[in-house]
Structure 1
Amino acid sequence: MRVEAEQADHEVAAAEQGLRAYAEAEGHALVGIRHEVVDGSLAELAGLVREIAQEGGGPVVVPSRAHFGRGEALRASVSAWVEAVTGSEPHEVEP
């Protein structure tokens, strides 16, 4: 999930709890939560996607696709890449 510098710790904790609750409700095993803290970077997401692919695929849960980037074209591209590599369309907690 993307964490902005100005976000308060309680906001980050609430977003993490939302991810955990969604994963549990949908029957997914939440392996971990990664924070993308560098604006414009997708390094943490790329690492997560590689790990999931190495384990044979599976779902990626994000607070929303807005965490993939600022523009709709970038969000669509990153979403398609995640699906192609993991074999699963990204799941959004808040579409």
Structure 2
Amino acid sequence: MVTKEEVKHLGWLARIELSDDELDRYTSQIKEIIKYLDKLDTIPLEEVKPIVSRKKFADLRRDEPADFEGDTLGTKYRKDGFVKGPRMV
């Protein structure tokens, strides 16, 4: 199971300081979560059929390039047919 030292290490990795009360509480909560996940692992799923979507993803939209005709961004942000962004240093 989970120890206080492991929870303290997780806090260190997350760069947060945990009080003794928080360590006790979080250790208990993590243990409960792991118990629940172990319980979920006992559910027999061999006979469960996977959900299949009726619509194929390829039918959602055509993946065709579109020409950009228009000046949506204005002339201030365009240069030589490209969109110009701010200078990054």
TM-score band (shorter)? under 0.3
Structure whose residues are more often helix by fraction: 1
Higher relative contact order, chain-length normalized (CA < 8 Å, sep 6+) = 1
Structure exhibiting the larger radius of gyration computed from Cα positions = 2
TM superposition score normalised by structure 1: 0.26
